Amino acid sequence: MASFSVVAMQASPSKNFDEKLAATQALLRKALKDHVKITQASSLGAEDVVITHLLEAIKAEATNANFSADVFVLNTGKLHAETLSLMAKQQSTSPLMVRVFEPVQEQAIQFVKTNGEMAMRESVDLRMACCHIRKVEPLKRALQGYTAWITGMRREQSAARADVPAVDTSDSVRTKYNPLTDWTWGDVLHYIVTHHVPYNTLIDQFYPSIGCEPCTRAISLGEDFRAGRWWWEDKEGENAKECGLHVKEKQ
Ligand code: SF4
């Protein structure tokens, strides 16, 4: 761990944190009961390690013989060393299966050959094309056969996420559970500190949102949580601060 800990400094539970935690645990238990094929999407950010830890605790309950949830990570080939290190640690220590999905190598290589290593900085279209190859297509494979997935989206993270529901049934194929919607950043870090959850040390370098190395920077005091993602792009655009994983496809 870094000697200076943003996590310890910013851990600060809401007054009703215990109620929020109980509601989150209840929602996860219900999701696990309602879906045999359910998986957690993890970018190994603060919210994700909290959810994985909560799932591990539920799995440890003796009565949950039918527990079947797992976790998946999209290893885009562009992740920070800190993220890869935590991913390897989770794979070797978590009682949950941690599945890792990578882009189709030929597509990723061809994209770089045609457009250059830093094409994502040149236009939103090229950035979205890179995200499609490295994230969206692998996501489809990760979700194949699952009737539900769990994410760490919180309403506080950005204007685009201000209305995120705890249970999103807008996709007829798959339910999306967002059990931390009303948690604050202080709540998330409080859980990590209280339960000694291993976390991504990038957070101590002021990266509250974890993404690919070329597309994520540290944020300054007062900036939005996702200000460090694709910071060179138009903040108001349709795809602002999103990579396509949570953007609904047009009918
Ligand atoms: S976040 Fe950046 S590097 Fe990662 S897939 Fe998207 S454009 Fe490519």
Tens of pLDDT along 175-228?
999 999 999 999 999 999 999 999 999 999 999 999 999 999 999 888 888 888
The C-alpha atoms of residue 42 and residue 40 are separated, in whole angstroms, by 6
Reference 119, options 105, 100, 133, 106; nearest CA is 133
Asked about 212 being catalytic, the answer comes back as no
Burial of 121 (0-12, 13-18, 19+ CB in 10 A): middle
Identify which of 76, 112, 122 to mutate to test ligand 1's pocket (most ligand atoms within 8 A of the CB).
76
% the chain with pLDDT above 70: 91
pLDDT tens per residue across span 101-120: 999 999 999 999 999 999 99
Does ligand 1 have an atom closer than 6 angstroms to the CB of 120? Answer: yes
Rg (CA), the chain: 18
Evaluate if residue 250 carries a pLDDT over 50: no
Quick one: pLDDT band at residue 237, thresholds 50, 70, 90? low
pTM: 0.92
Q: What is the Å distance from ligand 1's center to 30 Cα?
A: 34
Evaluate if residue 158 carries a pLDDT over 90: no
Q: Which ligand 1 atom sits closest to the C-alpha of 135?
A: 5
Which residues in 2-22 are b (16+ Cβ under 10 Å) and which e? Answer: eeebbbeebbebeeebeebbe
Give pLDDT, residue 3: 60
Quick one: pLDDT band at residue 100, thresholds 50, 70, 90? very high
The C-alpha atoms of residue 230 and residue 177 are separated, in whole angstroms, by 25
Does ligand 1 have an atom closer than 6 angstroms to the CB of 243? Answer: yes
Going by alpha carbons, the residue nearest to atom 5 of ligand 1 is 131
The C-alpha atoms of residue 24 and residue 22 are separated, in whole angstroms, by 5
Identify which of 75, 110, 130 to mutate to test ligand 1's pocket (most ligand atoms within 8 A of the CB).
130
Reference 198, options 62, 75, 50; nearest CA is 50
Q: Which residues pair with 100 in a beta bridge?
A: 73
Residue with structure tokens 């009303």? 182
Q: Give mean pLDDT, residues 66-94.
A: 96
pLDDT, averaged across the chain: 91
Does ligand 1 have an atom closer than 6 angstroms to the CB of 241? Answer: no
Q: Which residues pair with 148 in a beta bridge?
A: 38, 175
Give pLDDT, residue 210: 92
